[in-house]
């Protein structure tokens, strides 16, 4: 086993697109027994592939005399949706106190992508030896959990009979919320707006991440201070109180919670001092602000469809100058785009059966032009098994079709939109559709395509367009609404930006992972945006 320990990776693992952090829990079952007089003492080592080499990220503790260990030490990994993050879990029987792995007996390993783990939430697999054979009956179970508190607190606050601080008018009150800092001092976390000229203010409802307000601990004391605003910054103190989120959550719409606002100096001076007014918690609600990973861990499937441009402008596929010519290395720009996007997305679809459609070609036997045909020539079952299946169907169909035209996008966009529309009946976030269109040129049916994209923007669907060759792709940039809102020819605005366009030529000489990062960077945000807008929670979401 050529393992080398390098607990501090030389290269930074991940990129600036990190969506969040994931905690991985590991258990072993029926591990090999390598000790003569007792059972194995296993520990698990996690490796990540960085630039083609396995780099050690971390190790668990050692479980003494245990062939079925549940390790308490968790692995924490930055999660990047738009990267293939290859992981290897290797188990060893600790024999010596050495940090060198070759000093310990090897019990088996399992390799997969982080995407595979999070899309299943929990996986159990056979452990393999170095020769690829099973390590006895040894199994490994890996469970993923997102490491973030996504709870948000929304407070609706008011005041009654606050102390008057201004000589010629009433007070201009506002509230400040503080939590205890690590240094023991109070730390400001939120300030409300100022309500002018009143002793009975009603502040606008506001939302704060629960982690910001109380470090996620609803029993933790927080301090609320009330001030009278002065434009010179010398705000006058009205009063304060301490409470907790748990206490404020007692407030219901019909039963507000009333808290006395106390000025300690006044309290000391005046014997009959009661308070400096009442602060009312009208309502206090905790909800979850779901992330992309919440939806994936909840079981949401990403449904992937490919649309391939077979118009005549691509050139004869037998001619080396054609964009569809498959070179001696077995690839071309179309295949590179399919691999780049498909190898990421396939981890998030449990059956890995992907429809692959073509457009702009004449089909046998009557040679009619089609803008929506199954490249495996099976219209009732256009599904290909995995990315490999798409690649095989693509290569097989090339000799049997005639490249023609025009370049019409709308039939394929509407095809996927029909399935996405059926998914809008869902009560939970179960399916999201991704259409990858690979094309060499200018769209012929721009008005119809704009209309189709605007309608699709209301559905659980995103469109990725990869432009191959050296054509003018100005129209594609227009569909990608990064700089302005896309409108249909009737003037209707897109509900959200669902198109991401990337010209392949920008990535010809870059590592193949770079294309996937550019193309998929916006997708997690688009998924979250749709499900939030529709108020759809993840399938297995816990109450806040």
Taking only the tens place, the pLDDT of each residue in 414-426 is 999 999 999 999 8
Q: Is residue 481 very low, low, confident or very high in pLDDT (cuts 50, 70, 90)? A: low
pLDDT score of 15: 33
Question: Bridge partners of 362?
Answer: 369, 402
276-331 pLDDT, tens digit each: 999 999 999 999 889 999 999 999 999 999 999 999 999 999 999 999 999 999 99
pLDDT score of 150: 86
- In this predicted structure, which of 228-232, 339-343, 380-384 has the lowest mean pLDDT? 228-232
Q: List, as own/partner pairs, every contact residues 217-222 make where C-beta atoms lie below 8 angstroms and the sequence separation is at least 24, other chains included.
A: 218/244, 218/245, 218/246, 218/249, 218/286, 219/244, 219/245, 219/246, 220/179, 220/180, 220/244, 220/245, 221/180, 222/177, 222/178, 222/179, 222/189
pLDDT score of 267: 93
Residue 488, pLDDT above cutoff 60: yes
20-147 and 293-364+390-534 in the same fold: no
Residue with tokens 């989120």: 245
Q: Please determine, looking at this structure, whether the domain spanning 20-147 carries the CATH number 2.60.40.150.
A: yes
> Is residue 524 within 8 Å of 81, Cβ to Cβ?
yes
Q: Is residue 17 very low, low, confident or very high in pLDDT (cuts 50, 70, 90)? A: very low
Q: Where are the domains of the chain?
A: 20-147, 151-288, 293-364+390-534
Overall CATH class of domain 293-364+390-534:
alpha beta
pLDDT score of 474: 82
| Topology of domain 151-288, CATH | Immunoglobulin-like (2.60.40)
Residue 6, pLDDT above cutoff 50: no
Average pLDDT over residues 74-97: 93
DSSP one-letter string for 115-166: HHHHHHSEEEEEEE-TTSSEEEEEEEEEEEEE----EEEEEEEEEESPPP--
């Amino acid at each position: 086993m050529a393992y080398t320990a390098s607990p501090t990776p030389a290269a930074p693992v991940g990129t600036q697109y990190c969506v969040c952090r994931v905690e991985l829990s590991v258990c072993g079952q029926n591990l090999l027994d390598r000790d003569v007089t007792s059972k194995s003492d296993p520990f698990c080592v996690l490796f990540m592939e960085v630039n083609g080499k396995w780099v050690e990220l971390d190790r668990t503790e050692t479980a003494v005399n245990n062939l079925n260990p549940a390790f308490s030490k968790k692995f924490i990994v930055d999660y990047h949706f738009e990267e293939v993050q290859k992981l290897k879990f290797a188990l060893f029987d600790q024999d010596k106190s050495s940090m060198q792995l070759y000093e310990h007996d090897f019990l088996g390993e399992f390799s997969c992508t982080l995407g595979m783990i999070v899309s299943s939430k929990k996986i159990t697999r056979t452990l393999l030896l170095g020769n690829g054979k099973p390590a006895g009956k040894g199994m490994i179970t890996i469970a993923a959990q997102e490491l973030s508190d996504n709870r948000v607190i929304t407070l609706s606050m008011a005041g009654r009979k606050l102390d008057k601080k201004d000589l010629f008018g009433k007070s201009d009150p506002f509230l400040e919320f503080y939590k205890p800092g690590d240094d023991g001092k109070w730390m400001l976390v939120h300030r409300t707006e100022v309500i002018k000229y009143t002793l009975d203010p009603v502040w606008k409802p506001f939302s704060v991440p629960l982690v910001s307000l109380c470090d996620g601990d609803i029993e933790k004391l927080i301090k609320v201070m009330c001030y009278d605003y002065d434009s010179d910054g010398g705000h006058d103190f009205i009063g304060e109180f301490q409470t907790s989120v748990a206490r404020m959550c007692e407030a219901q719409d019909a039963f507000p919670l009333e808290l006395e606002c106390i000025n300690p100096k006044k309290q000391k001076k005046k014997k009959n001092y009661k308070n400096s007014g009442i602060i009312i918690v009208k309502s206090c609600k905790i909800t979850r602000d779901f992330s992309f990973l919440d939806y994936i861990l909840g079981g949401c499937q990403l449904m992937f469809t490919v649309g391939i441009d077979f118009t005549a402008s691509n050139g004869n596929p037998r001619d080396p100058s054609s964009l569809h010519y498959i070179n001696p290395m077995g690839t071309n720009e179309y295949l590179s785009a399919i691999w780049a996007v498909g190898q990421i997305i396939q981890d998030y679809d449990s059956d890995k059966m992907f429809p692959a459609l073509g457009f702009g070609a004449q089909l046998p036997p009557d040679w009619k032009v089609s803008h929506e045909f199954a490249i495996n020539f099976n219209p009732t079952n256009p599904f290909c098994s995995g990315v490999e299946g798409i690649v095989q169907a693509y290569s097989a169909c090339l000799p049997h079709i005639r490249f023609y035209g025009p370049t019409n996008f709308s039939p394929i966009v509407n095809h996927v939109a029909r399935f996405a529309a059926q998914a809008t009946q869902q009560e939970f976030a179960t399916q999201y559709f991704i259409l990858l269109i690979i094309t060499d040129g200018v769209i012929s049916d721009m008005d119809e395509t704009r209309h189709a994209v605007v309608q699709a923007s209301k559905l659980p669907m995103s469109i990725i367009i990869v432009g191959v060759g050296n054509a003018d792709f100005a129209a594609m940039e227009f569909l990608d609404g990064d700089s302005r809102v896309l409108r249909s020819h009737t003037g209707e605005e897109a509900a959200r930006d669902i198109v991401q366009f990337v010209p392949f030529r920008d990535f010809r000489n870059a590592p193949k992972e770079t294309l996937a990062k550019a193309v998929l960077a916006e997708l997690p945000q688009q998924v979250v945006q749709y499900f939030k807008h529709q108020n759809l929670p993840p399938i297995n979401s816990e109450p806040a």
